[in-house]
């Protein structure tokens, strides 16, 4: 640990001799005379107390001294002993003062850099937050749009089922056309590909409304990227996700037939299950 000795106090005293207007070695000589006079007077008890009070005073460095120190700091912000001694001599300051000045200057630089980094991080954070808020708004708008479409679809379904019921009541027994249509639906073993523009996920549908099948059908959800990469490594393993769909809700004769009907738009009931 560094302790300050009597010589350090003298150093401090010497540096005190410099006022703001004093400069360089010339001033140092003036100080030396003053210092000698003060030393002489220190022998007197009255001055001793005054001197001890005086040593507590701080003096700011002159503008020229600060300029020279700044210039040196720009070159290298660490101080080797040689440079310290040289600066001390040139500026008429104690080596300890030079060291302290560099130390404090490094601390100021660090604070400044921290403030700058904080500013950069903050602006980056603000930009990111703005981006997030915009996305959130977009998300909300899409949700509203989706619920509107859902309600529109369910309304249309309701209307079409009412029409179908009316037709059935009108034409009993079942007409040839409807028989054929029903048969077609029974035989369907179609594969449907529905691609979402937003995501590259493809939905493969392999369905059958045949009564010989079990009560479940499967909807295969696969991501082409996943599939592609898996083809390389695990050719035999299907990495797609299978979603079980209850036949009752999806592939009763009405809805599955509507799905493939040219006249009517698909109900997409399966799409909204679980929402």
Partner DNA sequence: TTGTGTTTTATTGCCTCC
Partner DNA sequence: GGAGGCAATAAAACACAA
Name the residues that contact DNA, by CB under 7 A.
1-4, 8, 12, 15, 20, 56-61, 66, 78-79, 81, 96-97, 99-104, 106-108, 110
User: DSSP string spanning 104-141?
Assistant: HHHHHHHHHHHHHHHHHHHHHHHHHHHHHHHHHHHHHH
Q: Which two tokens stand for residue 70?
A: 């700044």
Nearer to DNA, 107 or 149 (CB): 107
CB of 96 or CB of 150, closer to DNA: 96
- Cα 142–146–148 angle (5° rounding)? 120
Q: Give min distance, CB of 273 to DNA, in A.
A: 58
How far, rounded to the nearest angstrom, does the alpha carbon of residue 103 sit from its chain's CA centroid? Answer: 35
Distance of closest approach, residue 24 Cβ to DNA, in angstroms: 16
Pairing of strands 241-246, 202-206: unpaired
Closer by beta carbon to DNA, 54 or else 153: 54
CB of 3 to DNA, least distance (A): 7
* Shortest Å, Cβ 63 to DNA: 9
Residue 33 or 60: the one with the smaller Cβ distance to DNA is 60
Helices 95-170 and 63-75, packing angle to 10 deg: 60
């Amino acid at each position: 640990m560094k302790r300050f000795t009597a010589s350090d106090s003298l150093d401090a005293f010497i540096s005190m001799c410099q006022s703001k207007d004093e400069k360089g070695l010339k001033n140092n000589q003036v100080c030396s005379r003053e210092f000698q006079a003060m030393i002489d007077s220190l022998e007197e008890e009255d001055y001793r107390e005054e001197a001890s009070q005086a040593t507590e005073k701080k003096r700011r460095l002159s503008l020229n001294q600060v300029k020279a120190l700044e210039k040196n700091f720009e070159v290298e912000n660490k101080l080797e002993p040689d440079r310290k001694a040289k600066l001390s001599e040139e500026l008429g300051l104690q080596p300890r003062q030079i060291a302290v000045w560099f130390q404090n200057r490094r601390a100021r630089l660090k604070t400044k850099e921290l403030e700058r980094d904080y500013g950069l991080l903050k602006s980056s954070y603000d930009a990111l937050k703005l981006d997030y808020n915009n996305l959130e708004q977009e998300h909300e708008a899409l949700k509203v749009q989706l619920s509107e479409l859902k309600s529109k679809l369910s309304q249309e379904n309701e209307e079409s089922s009412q029409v179908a019921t009316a037709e059935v009541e009108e034409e009993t027994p079942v007409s040839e056309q409807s028989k054929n249509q029903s048969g077609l639906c029974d035989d369907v073993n179609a594969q449907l590909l529905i691609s979402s523009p937003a995501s590259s996920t493809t939905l493969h549908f392999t369905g059958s409304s045949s009564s010989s099948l079990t009560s479940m059908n499967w909807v295969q959800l696969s991501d082409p990227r996943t599939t592609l990469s898996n083809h390389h490594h695990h050719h035999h393993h299907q990495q797609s996700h299978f979603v079980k769909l209850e036949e009752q809700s999806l592939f009763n004769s009405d809805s599955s037939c509507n799905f493939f009907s040219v006249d009517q738009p698909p109900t997409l009931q399966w799409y909204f299950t679980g929402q």
